[in-house]
């Protein structure tokens, strides 16, 4: 175990702070790019799934197939995990931005928006998707499958969260786009 005196510890902390400040331009550029690329890819994938894949499955009649619940659960379970990674990247980028730019910190609204963009996939992954899959599983081979009334409420919750996610993504993307790293860094 090393015994450091107070002067050495202060010097080390000061050196670390100067190191962060000197690297803040490149760190900010990385955070800026990561946030933009992640949000654009995430919104594009969400719109592709919501506006092309799911309606296509509905039109072809696959949703009436008893095996659709398993396929839907697999599709959304995988996509929800990808959304969790995207939400974590956006929040990490926002926190990195906050840590490296004391002269131009994020607003509380921007930080709450970045946090919301992680919270929504958490709700999808651990709340809505498992519950919807559980309601849709057909346990009897002889009964005609009926859509439970609760399923409509869960779809409403999903679409409400999806609209909130798209609005929050648009807000955060606009906010971050208007603040290029070169204009902010010291």
Residue 118 lies in a domain: yes
How far apart CA 112 and CA 120 sit, in angstroms, is 12
Phi and psi angles of residue 144, each rounded to the nearest 5 degrees, phi first: -80, 125
Residue 106 lies in a domain: yes
Q: What is the pLDDT of residue 146?
A: 65
Half-sphere exposure of 67 toward its Cβ, with a 13 Å CA cutoff? 1
Q: How far is CA 177 from CA 30, 35, 88, 113, in A?
A: 13, 9, 19, 15
Judge contact between 90 and 35, C-beta under 8 A.
Answer: yes
How far apart CA 120 and CA 161 sit, in angstroms, is 7
Q: Considering the entire predicted model, what is its pTM?
A: 0.79
Domain with 37, as residue range(s), is: 6-184
pLDDT in tens, 157-169: 999 999 999 999 9
pLDDT in tens, 66-101: 777 788 888 999 999 999 999 999 999 999 888 888
Residue 1 lies in a domain: no
pLDDT reading at 139 higher than 50: no
Hey, what are 29's tokens? 């550029």
Which segments of the chain does DSSP mark as H helices, in order? 6-22, 24-48, 54-59, 68-100, 108-123, 129-136, 149-177, 181-184
Which pLDDT band holds residue 156 (cuts at 50, 70, 90)? very high
Number of folded domains in the chain? 1
Q: Helix, strand, or coil here: 164? A: helix
């Amino acid at each position: 175990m090393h015994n450091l005196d107070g002067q050495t510890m202060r010097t080390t902390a000061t050196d670390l702070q100067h190191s962060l400040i000197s690297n803040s331009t490149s760190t900010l550029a990385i955070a800026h790019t990561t946030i933009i690329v992640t949000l654009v890819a995430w919104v594009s994938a969400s719109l592709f799934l919501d506006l092309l894949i799911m309606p296509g499955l509905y039109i072809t009649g696959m949703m009436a197939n008893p095996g659709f619940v398993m396929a839907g659960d697999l599709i959304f379970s995988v996509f929800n995990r990808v959304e969790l990674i995207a939400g974590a990247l956006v929040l990490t980028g926002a926190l990195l931005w906050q840590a490296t730019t004391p002269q131009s910190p994020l607003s509380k609204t921007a930080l709450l928006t970045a946090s919301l963009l992680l919270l929504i996939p958490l709700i999808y992954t651990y709340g809505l998707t498992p519950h919807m899959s559980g309601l849709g599983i057909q346990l009897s081979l002889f009964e005609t499958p009926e859509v439970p009334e609760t399923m409509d409420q869960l779809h409403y919750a999903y679409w409400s969260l999806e609209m909130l996610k798209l609005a929050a993504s648009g807000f955060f993307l606009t906010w971050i786009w208007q603040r290029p790293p070169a204009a902010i860094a010291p």
